[in-house]
Copies of this chain bind each other. A is one copy, B any other.
Amino acid sequence: MAKLKSNQKREQIFHAGLKLFAENGYSKTTINDIAREAGVSFGTVFTYYENKAALFRACVTEPLDEFRQYMLTANEELESITLQKLKNLVGQHIDFFMEKEHYLRVIQYVIGQPYRFDEMEVLDEFADEFRSFIQHIVKTGMDKGILPASSPEEVSYGYLAFLMGMRLSFTDQARAHQTNAFKNQALRLFGL
C-alpha cells in the first residue's frame, strides 16, 4: 500500500516533468513549476528524483521501453504481412507519433542539443534500433512483392526523419486533417 502511494506521486511528478520540459525546455522549467503541476510540494520532487537532471533523464529514457515493446510485437507479425497490414502499420506509426507529442518534443530537444545532454547516446541507439526495424519491414515487403524496389536503408532514414518532422514541425492547427495527409505522404516514402 505504502509503495503504491509512492509510485503514484512519482508518476505525477514524471508526467508533470515530461509536459513542462516539452513545453518550455529544460532550463526554463523550474522544480517549482513541476511540483505545482504535479500537485506535490517542492521538496517532494527530490524525494523521488535525486535532482532535476535525474528527472529529465528519466523523462528521456524511460518511455523508450514502450516503443521497444511495440517494435517487438510488430516484428512478430511481419511474417504474414500484406499490403493492407503494412498500410495499417504506417497508420499506427503516424497515430503513435501524433499522440506522444510531449515525449517527442523532449526527444527533439535533446537531439537538437547533442553536446549538452548525455542522454543523446541512448537516443542514438534507439534511432538505430528503429531504423533496423524499418529496414526489416522494407526487406520483407520487397520479398513478398508488396513493395517496389527500394534501398531499405534510405527508406529507414527518410521515414524516421519524416515521422519526427511531422510531429514536431507543426503546432496543432487542423490536426485531424494533417494526420491524413501525413499518412498518405508516408506511404510514398515506401514507394506506394
Seen from chain A, the residues whose Cβ lies within 8 Å of a Cβ on chain B are 22-28, 105, 108-109, 111-116, 120, 124, 127, 151, 153-155, 157-166, 168-171, 178, 180-182, 184-186, 188-189, 191
Contacts and interface: CB of A to CB of B under 8 A. Distances in A.
Nearest to A178: B157
Contacts of A169: 108, 111, 127, 160-161, 164-165
Contacts of A112: 22, 25, 105, 108-109, 112, 168
A168 B116 contact: no
A161 B182 contact: yes
27 contacts: A22-B112, A23-B116, A24-B116, A25-B113, A25-B116, A26-B28, A27-B27, A105-B112, A108-B108, A108-B112, A108-B168, A109-B112, A111-B168, A157-B170, A157-B181, A157-B185, A158-B166, A158-B185, A158-B186, A161-B162, A161-B182, A163-B165, A164-B165, A164-B169, A165-B165, A165-B168, A188-B189
Contacts of A154: 180-181, 184-185
Give the oligomeric copy count.
Answer: 4
A48 B161 CA distance: 37
Top 10 closest pairs, chain A to chain B, by CB: A165-B165, A158-B185, A27-B27, A154-B181, A161-B165, A164-B165, A161-B166, A164-B169, A157-B181, A188-B188
Contacts of A114: 171
Nearest to A191: B188
A99 to B, nearest CB: 16
**Among A22, A27, A185, which residue has the most Cβ atoms of chain B within 10 A?**
A185
